[in-house]
Amino acid sequence: MSRLSRPLTLAAVSLAALVAAQGGAQAGGFAIREQSATAQGLSFAGAASGSGYLSSMFWNPAAITMMPGWQTDASLSLIVPRVDINPLPSVPTFALGGSGDIGQDALVAASYNSYQINDMLWVGLSATSPYGLVTDPRDNWSGQVYSRSSRVFSVNVNPVVGVKLNDWFSVAVGPSLQYFDIKLKRAAGVAPGAPSVILDGDDIGFGFTAGVTITPFAGTTIGLGYRSRIEHGLEGTVSIPGPTGIIPISSDLSTPDQLTLGISHAFTPALTVHAGFEWTNWSILETPLVTGPGGVVVTDLPLNYDDGYFYSLGFDYKLNDQLTLRAGLAYEESPIDTNIRSTRLPDNDRIWASVGASYQWNNKLSFDLAYTHIFTKETDIRIVPGHQDFEGLPFLADVDASTDIVTVGLRYRWDDPVVAIPAAPIVRKY
């Protein structure tokens, strides 16, 4: 490997390591799961079968056919992560200390709109941020040659068309437009105050979403949704201290496709139980190449993730016509293990524990609130010879991580709901 490619490799240890999953993006890899206040209260159980009301269209666009009239659903999540990387005494740079808390508090917004044209046809539009957030360790720390700050920002706009073919089967499909922007930093050397190598790039890519809902019998809904991979041809620069300066670069990176299954069953008019399963195709990331002028390969980006899996179970209980309570648990299998775990992405398996509530203010307006605590499995980092990120400096550390999330939501129906008029009583004359 050339002298140029070595700092480039360290600068972009992985494009997927844009943000520590526990330091911002709260799903496996660098995805953001916080797209619905209602579904979050269930740990996203049944998200594809409508447990999130209109916001379920993020996982399954066919959920819009469950929403009569003209409706809007919006949410705002406050993510408060705590992620400390603590080097072991055997690390040569141990004296520089740990990372400090690399997790950055963040706000994530999502909005959804649907309009029912007739008894069969719906149109909808969502605006979300499926990937992103920030990690930022201390500038001078023992792992600085592997990472300093990492940032990603994304916006996804997804119009959809839904068709209710009959009383038990609906379908929907729509294109996705996604803007994706990254910025990665790492130290050019081990000494305190060493300048940073910076990789920066962005792109707009296109994909689609599709889904179905099935109601096999009254009280039970099954939903299956698909979000396609989106291929990004990132264009940007790498800034290297010294005479090398700024180099224009490009790299092809795909965000993964995702399949989500949800099942919801109403056991009583008040109690509904939800279950969910999600598969994310992180293994498509593999090892993208970074090329410079003339298409010359200057480095590669060793990702090599496994696929991610998410299992969830929850329930909601309607106390009265205004107040609904909910709770849920989920287990998430991370696509990252010790063999590939980096200082940018100290991801590991997690348990989600959530509670939430909805309050129906009137027949048009309702509010949602959810709280989640994420318990992260004991995590270590072992960058030694044979590790894909190893660049001559062994780095061994333990990671201490946890996350709290609070989400608020608002749902509003713009048209006037149809109120059934009771039939006139039958008057018998004797």
186-221 pLDDT per residue, tens: 999 999 999 998 999 999 999 999 999 999 999 999
Q: Distance (Å, rounded) from C-alpha 138 to C-alpha 127?
A: 33
224-268 pLDDT per residue, tens: 999 999 999 999 999 888 887 899 999 999 999 999 999 999 999
Instruction: Give 2's pLDDT tier (boundaries 50, 70, 90).
Output: very low
CATH 2.40.160.60 applies to domain 5-413: yes
pLDDT, position 422: 53
Give the C-alpha distances (Å, rounded to integers) separating 282 from 26, 27, 253, 407. Answer: 15, 12, 11, 26
Give the C-alpha distances (Å, rounded to integers) separating 26 from 3, 33, 143, 252. Answer: 36, 6, 23, 24
DSSP H stretches of helix in 314-377: none
Instruction: Give 142's pLDDT tier (boundaries 50, 70, 90).
Output: very high
Q: Distance (Å, rounded) from C-alpha 184 to C-alpha 398?
A: 22
Residue 8 pLDDT > 50: no
Instruction: Single out the residue of 279, 288, 286 nearest to residue 305, CA to CA.
Output: 286
CA 337 to chain CA mean position, Å: 19
301-338 pLDDT per residue, tens: 788 899 999 999 999 999 999 999 999 999 999 999 99
Q: Looking at residue 47, what DSSP letter applies?
A: G
Residue 134 pLDDT > 70: yes
Taking the complete model, does pTM exceed 0.95, yes or no?
Answer: no
CA 48 to chain CA mean position, Å: 15
Give the residue extent of every domain in the chain.
5-413
Q: Distance (Å, rounded) from C-alpha 144 to C-alpha 295?
A: 29
CA 91 to chain CA mean position, Å: 33
Q: Which residues pair with 204 in a beta bridge?
A: 179
Q: Which residue has the tokens 């809007």?
A: 72
